[in-house]
Amino acid sequence: MNHLQDAIQTSLDAKLRAQIGHLAIANMAQQAEIEVLRAELARLNALKEPATRKGPLSSGSSDRPPAG
């Protein structure tokens, strides 16, 4: 390769590496956002869980005393 081709190749390589770096950073940011959303979903599910346990399919005790 001549000097011009080497310079072009070097420039393209640098641009590609920069794009890969930006994509990697964006990916890490998205992964962090996903973790935040998972934690929020777990928190909301935990808040909902006690109300769900009182339903007819639960194996726990009822809030009402036994009839009799």
Are the CB atoms for 9 and 1 separated by under 8 Å? yes
Segments of the chain scoring below 70 in pLDDT:
1, 51-68
pTM for this predicted structure: 0.58
Domain boundaries, the chain: 1-46
Residue 61, pLDDT score: 54
CB 60 within 8 A of CB 53: yes
pLDDT of 63: 58
pLDDT at 57: 57
The confidence score (pLDDT) of residue 49 equals: 81
